[in-house]
Structures are given as C-alpha cells and as structure tokens.
Amino acid sequence: MDEEENLKNADVADFAEKIVVDEIKGEQEEEEEEEDEEALPHSEFLDIFEEGLALIVQDPLLCDLPIQVTLEEVNSQVALEYGQAMTVRICKPDGEVMPIVVVQSATVLDLKKAIRRYMELKQQREGGVKHISWKYVWRTFHLVFNGEKLEDDERKLKDYGIRNRDEVTFLKKLKKK
C-alpha cells in the first residue's frame, strides 16, 4: 500500500507541478502581450490609426466626410446610405447651411442635440469660439419648418412633416413688449 500511496503522491505532485508550470507560462504570455502593447508609443498608434481612417474615408460611400472624421460621423453616413437616417439642412441667419444627420424617428430634442454636436465638432476642427451657451441659443432662436415653430422637444420630426433633405430655419424670437 505504501507503493500505491507513493504512486498517488507522485501523480498528485506531477499534476501540481504541471499546473504551476502552466500558470507561469500563462503569466509570461500575459507579460509579453503587455510588452507588445507598450512597445508602440501613443503618437505612433495615432498616426497608424489616422492613416487607416484616411483610407476608409476614400471610399465613395464616405467621401463626403472630413479628414478628421469621428466614428459617430461614419456611423451616421452609413445609416444615411441604408435609409435609417436623414439629413436635415439647418439654415442659419448668416446664410450658412448645416447638414445635420438624425435617425428617421428623431425628435426635436434629438435634432437640437445633433446641431450642438455638429457645432462642437466644427469648432474643434476650425478653432474659433470656445463656448456656446446653448440655453441662450434656444431662448433666443426658434427652429422653424414651413412657417411652423418646432416648440415641442418630444414631438417627432416626421410629425412636423420633416423628411430627408428638408430645410429647417433658425429664426430669432421676437421680444415681447
């Protein structure tokens, strides 16, 4: 029986040794993976990413996008192509037209958020004004479509009759006397 116990103990010892060796190998592989991740400086990684992104943007489907494109803009463009989104042209008082992409089921609030995001991205790319008070903007201006003010933030754009490529105007509110 001593021999059987010795064999069992030897098997257990071999098994334990195998587990420890496997664990050490696993830790070494994890360290090598971490070293691989650390081997590429952030600036080089960004350069590689931007080169890949520039290639993607050359695709005919995405050629309208800016060079410093965001994932959100790529997703919006793809959604447009599949008919899941629409472009609403926002006309500012200075004559500038902003092409704003929103989903087909968007509300007025979704449109306002998309306008804000569009302006933030534009500012990042061009510099200029650092802060816009959106409370002030929405207190001072209405969004108007075919003479109707888009006042209910929860109402869907399609309920106002807004479709793809329709124009919505920023209209300054008149002061009440």
Q: What's the predicted TM-score (pTM) here?
A: 0.66
pLDDT given at position 24: 66
On average, the pLDDT of the chain sits at 81
**Averaged pLDDT, 39-64:** 77
Q: Which residue has the higher pLDDT, 77 or 113?
A: 113
Q: Is residue 59 within 8 Å of residue 138, measured between CB atoms?
A: no
CA count, 13 A, side-chain hemisphere, 57: 16
With a cut of 70, say whether residue 13 has pLDDT above it.
Answer: no
**Token representation of residue 65:** 């996008």
Question: Could you report the per-residue pLDDT of 119-143, keeping only the tens digit for each?
Answer: 998 888 888 777 889 999 999 999 9
- Helix intervals (H) in the chain: 2-38, 42-57, 71-81, 108-126, 134-140
Q: Is 25 exposed, middle or buried (0-12, 13-18, 19+ CB in 10 A)?
A: exposed
